[in-house]
C-alpha cells in the first residue's frame, strides 16, 4: 500500500494527478473569470476550490503517514534542494489557495457555495438587494491579496516543477516521471 523506491502507491499517484490538474484548471479559470468579469464562473470556481480542499487535506495526511517519495538516485545537492523547496511551495500553496479563497469570499460577504448548497450565506444590504456588505472588510482584503499573490507564486513553482519532471525524463532519462504515472522503475 505504501510507496516504495521502485513503485509509488495508487493513492499517491491518484492524489497527485487529481490535485495537480484541478489546481492548474482553477488557476486558469480564476485568472480568466477575474480578467473578463465572468461572474457566472465564480460559483463553479468556488465550489471546486472547496471540494479540492478536502482532497488536499487527505493528501497531506497521506504524506505524513507515508513520507515523501524517495529519489531514484543521488542527485546534485542544488537539484535535490530545489526540487524539495518547490514540493513544499506546491503543498503549502494547495492549502493556502482554497483557505484564502474561502476567507476572502466568506468575510467579504459574497458567500461560499458548494454546488447549490450555501456553506456561508451572502450578506446582502436589507435596504438594497444589489449591495453586498462585507462581514469583515480588512480580513477579506488581506485574503484577496494573498489569493492573487499565490497565483504568481504557484505559476512559477509549477513551471519549475514541470521543467524538473521533463529534465528527469528527457535529459537524465530516468524513471521519475514514469514512476508518477504508475510504472515500476
Binding site for ligand HEM (CB under 6 A): 12, 16, 19-20, 23-24, 26-27, 30-31, 34, 42, 45-46, 49-50, 52, 63, 69, 71, 87, 90-91, 94, 97-98, 101-102, 105, 112, 147-148, 151, 158, 161-162, 165, 176-177, 179-180
**Residues 98, 159: Cα–Cα separation, whole Å:** 20
**Residue (of 73, 77, 57) closest to 65 by Cα position:** 57
How near is the Cβ of 33 to ligand HEM at its closest, in Å? 6
Taking the least distance from each CB to ligand HEM, the nearer of 127 and 131 is: 131
* Contact indicator for 121, 133 with CB cutoff of 8 Å: no
Taking the least distance from each CB to ligand HEM, the nearer of 37 and 127 is: 37
Taking the least distance from each CB to ligand HEM, the nearer of 90 and 128 is: 90
**Residues 59, 91: Cα–Cα separation, whole Å:** 9
DSSP state of 40: G
Residue 129, burial from CB neighbour count under 10 angstroms (0-12, 13-18, 19+): exposed
Taking the least distance from each CB to ligand HEM, the nearer of 117 and 127 is: 117
- Here the cell at position 177 is 516521471
How near is the Cβ of 77 to ligand HEM at its closest, in Å? 15
Amino acid at each position: 500500500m505504501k510507496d516504495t523506491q521502485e513503485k509509488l502507491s495508487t493513492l499517491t499517484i491518484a492524489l497527485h494527478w487529481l490535485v495537480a490538474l484541478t489546481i492548474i484548471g482553477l488557476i486558469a479559470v480564476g485568472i480568466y473569470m477575474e480578467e473578463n468579469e465572468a461572474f457566472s464562473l465564480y460559483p463553479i470556481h468556488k465550489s471546486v476550490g472547496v471540494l479540492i480542499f478536502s482532497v488536499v487535506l487527505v493528501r497531506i495526511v497521506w504524506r505524513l503517514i507515508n513520507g515523501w517519495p524517495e529519489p531514484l538516485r543521488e542527485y546534485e545537492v542544488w537539484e535535490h534542494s530545489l526540487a524539495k523547496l518547490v514540493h513544499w511551495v506546491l503543498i503549502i500553496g494547495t492549502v493556502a489557495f482554497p483557505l484564502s479563497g474561502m476567507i476572502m469570499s466568506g468575510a467579504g460577504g459574497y458567500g461560499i457555495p458548494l454546488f447549490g448548497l450555501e456553506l456561508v450565506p451572502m450578506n446582502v444590504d436589507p435596504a438594497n438587494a444589489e449591495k453586498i456588505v462585507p462581514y469583515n472588510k480588512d480580513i477579506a482584503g488581506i485574503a484577496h491579496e494573498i489569493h492573487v499573490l499565490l497565483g504568481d507564486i504557484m505559476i512559477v513553482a509549477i513551471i519549475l516543477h514541470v521543467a524538473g519532471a521533463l529534465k528527469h525524463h528527457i535529459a537524465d532519462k530516468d524513471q521519475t516521471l514514469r514512476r508518477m504515472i504508475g510504472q515500476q522503475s
